[in-house]
Structure 1
Amino acid sequence: MNNRFALIDMGTNTFHLLVTEVDEQGQLHDLYKTKVPVRLGQGGISNGAIAPEASERALKTLRDFRHTIDDFGAETVRAMATSMVRNASNGEAFVKEVFKHTDIQVEVIDGAREAELIYYGVRAAGVLDEKVSMIMDIGGGSVEFILCNQQEIFWKQSFELGAQRLMDKFFTQDPIPAESIAAEKAYLNERLQPLTDAVAKYKPIVLVGSSGTFDTLCDISALRRGDTSRLAGPPAASVLAVEDFYTVHQDLLRKNHDERLAVPGMLEMRVDMIVLASIAVDFVLEKYKLQEVRVSSYALKEGVLYEMLQSRK
């Protein structure tokens, strides 16, 4: 039996590939990891279809992924598509096209399933304990919130409020003006009412940010303090002090595109979306009075892997 797995997370903004191997003891050894700014939602997210250029970028990336997977000899390939593909009018046609060109069978997962898999990934990172936490995973298309502890999920929901969608709606000037920040927060306040109700019931005290934006916020914050330990790649679990988040956040709001790009730790593929995402993090911390921020570099694809390994036992 081949013990090499390839996991692909086809996000609205970024495609991730992880090739990993399971040894006799059931321990995982990552062989290869990459992320590519495919921007599947660009030019189409607001009108609900994948644009032709975006589709081309996706196919090229997946062909490259397929070569890498074959080079490593991974026989089990799982590819998950999320918000952009599940909401696109041409999502089904896109999935067929991918299979035709790459022999990769894409699973289009709904928001509730996405949230559940993110929980498994985050739990595997070791950031959860007995305290009630709120996991927040900010994608380009959707944002997942999960209220949980290390034992169980109490409540979960996916909202189509990802950073690309927020950007299309609120990012009309750069640097972002105060009225756009206020407008985004008012919009989140209205759209996240189900989360507000759940918070009143389950009373989370910790915010756990999952991958993406949160990894970048941690990278920027660490480099500001002269800590270069994350340059080799983020650890599975990190802590981001609330005041450190706000230092980075305020700085991002003041800067324009080029100034943000010059910030040590910034990734070009997040340089604009991170502004909208950071405002959403600020909103959540403030609104729900969360006292600490932890970060998991594990998310959806690690959750899929965890589930696969459980089913083999």
Structure 2
Amino acid sequence: MSTRKAALIDMGTNTFHLLLVELNGVGFKTIYKEKIAVKLGQGGISQNQIAPDAQKRAFHTLKHFKNLIDGEHIDQVFAFATSAVRNAENGSEFVSKVKADLGIHINVISGEQEAQLIYEGINLSGSLNGQTTLMMDIGGGSVEFIIGTSREVFWKRSFEIGGQRLLDAFHYHDPILQDEVEKLESYCKEKLQPVIEAIENFKPTALVGASGTFDTLTDIYFESMLQCKLTGQHVFELPTVDFECIFEMLKTKNREERLKIPGMIAMRVDMIVVASYLIEFILRYIPVEAIVCSHYSLKEGAVARLLSGETTV
């Protein structure tokens, strides 16, 4: 069976991911993966700009990724930029500079395309079945919601209310103040009304969270249970009661204290409070006993496209 290699770069608002894979037509093997907290949205996302320091971090990381890709002699490179770049007034200038200096073509995808790729990644993980499921992915710039089954998508939408945006707008004190939580509450009720209506319409009975914050929450949960995640496992369950306990703990701690929580990582410590609030908000409308957490998301959705025979993603 013939194999080919491909590289996927997911340029998120907070984190850049690199995934190097070997495709054999029916499945894929991970050659290498890495994630770096570039924080592309820091210092500029609320002004629809990519700040100079953020651009420097992005170029440094992309050059590092390019060296790794070249080292594996991979010529199929698929790079995706999401909320921070698609909304930045200097986004196209940044994309052009990356192409000119590093030879990496960046595909700036819409919120709807992002939601579709996230769905395909979640589906590839084996998180879905016949039941109607609400899926969510909390990025630094945007949050995607999808309702569907393993067979089809019924509804999907992207909202520009990601963790970095919420952090900039509401989380001024650490620990977060009750007044800030109440303002965040009003904002979510207003902005996420279409999601609430979609839940009422399609009546999902399961909740799947993709990657990012959900990975860290399950890490904290597994550490609290003195358990290890199995290598090669892509789907995890986080009981809702345990999520609520973790959320209550996160709300009462400052950054330094949160960093000491077993399972916490530095790249999530700033946004995890507002991101967890978003999850808690959604749980009010979809009461489930456990949140299913998919380790796969956008970049694996791109892999799913390549496995289906598509030559472009």
Partner of 2:273: 275
Listed as ranges, the gaps of 5+ residues in structure 1 are none
Listed as ranges, the gaps of 5+ residues in structure 2 are none
Question: In the TM superposition, what is the alpha-carbon distance from 1:105 to its structure 2 partner?
Answer: 0.2
Residue 31 of structure 2 aligns to a residue whose secondary structure is strand
Q: Which moved more, 1:284-293 or 1:208-217?
A: 284-293
> Superposed, which structure 2 residues align to 1:5-16 within 5 Å?
5-16=6-17
The separation in 2 between residues aligned to 1:288 and 1:196, in whole angstroms, is 9
Partner of 1:265: 263
Q: Is contact 2:239–2:289 with CA below 8 Å preserved after alignment?
A: no
1:288 lines up with 2:289 in the alignment: no
Identity, % of aligned positions:
45
Question: In the TM superposition, what is the alpha-carbon distance from 1:309 to its structure 2 partner?
Answer: 1.7
Partner of 1:236: 234
Letter in 2 for 1:198: A
Bigger helix fraction: 1
Residue 266 of structure 1 aligns to a residue whose secondary structure is coil
> Superposed, which structure 2 residues align to 1:218-229 within 5 Å?
218-229=218-229
> Superposed, which structure 2 residues align to 1:34-49 within 5 Å?
34-49=34-49
Partner of 2:21: 20
Question: In the TM superposition, what is the alpha-carbon distance from 1:2 to its structure 2 partner?
Answer: 6.7
Letter in 2 for 1:302: E
TM-score (ref. length: structure 2): 0.96
Question: In the TM superposition, what is the alpha-carbon distance from 1:312 to its structure 2 partner?
Answer: 4.6
1:246 lines up with 2:244 in the alignment: yes
Partner of 1:136: 136
Residue 34 of structure 1 aligns to a residue whose secondary structure is strand
Q: Is contact 1:17–1:33 with CA below 8 Å preserved after alignment?
A: yes
Question: In the TM superposition, what is the alpha-carbon distance from 1:287 to its structure 2 partner?
Answer: 3.0
Runs of at least 4 residues off by over 2 Å: 287-292
1:265-312 per-residue CA deviation (whole Å, 9 max, x = no partner) reads 111011010010001000000133344310101000000111122125
Letter in 2 for 1:144: E
Inter-CA distance 286–174: structure 2 relative to 1 (3 Å threshold): same
Partner of 2:111: 111
> Superposed, which structure 2 residues align to 1:119-134 within 5 Å?
119-134=119-134
Q: Which moved more, 1:63-72 or 1:285-294?
A: 285-294
Partner of 1:311: 309
1:243-275 per-residue CA deviation (whole Å, 9 max, x = no partner) reads 111111111111110000011111101101001
1:42-78 per-residue CA deviation (whole Å, 9 max, x = no partner) reads 0000000100110010001000000000111111000
Residue 311 of structure 1 aligns to a residue whose secondary structure is coil
Residue 265 of structure 1 aligns to a residue whose secondary structure is coil
Q: Is contact 2:140–2:164 with CA below 8 Å preserved after alignment?
A: yes
Q: Is contact 1:2–1:74 with CA below 8 Å preserved after alignment?
A: no
The separation in 2 between residues aligned to 1:169 and 1:247, in whole angstroms, is 25
Q: Root-mean-square deviation (CA), in Å?
A: 1.4
Letter in 1 for 2:17: H
Residue 161 of structure 2 aligns to a residue whose secondary structure is coil
Question: In the TM superposition, what is the alpha-carbon distance from 1:183 to its structure 2 partner?
Answer: 1.6
Residue 229 of structure 1 aligns to a residue whose secondary structure is coil
Letter in 1 for 2:60: K
1:50 lines up with 2:50 in the alignment: yes
Question: In the TM superposition, what is the alpha-carbon distance from 1:207 to its structure 2 partner?
Answer: 1.0
Question: In the TM superposition, what is the alpha-carbon distance from 1:229 to its structure 2 partner?
Answer: 3.0
Q: Is contact 1:205–1:291 with CA below 8 Å preserved after alignment?
A: no
The separation in 2 between residues aligned to 1:244 and 1:229, in whole angstroms, is 17
Partner of 1:199: 199
Residue 68 of structure 2 aligns to a residue whose secondary structure is helix
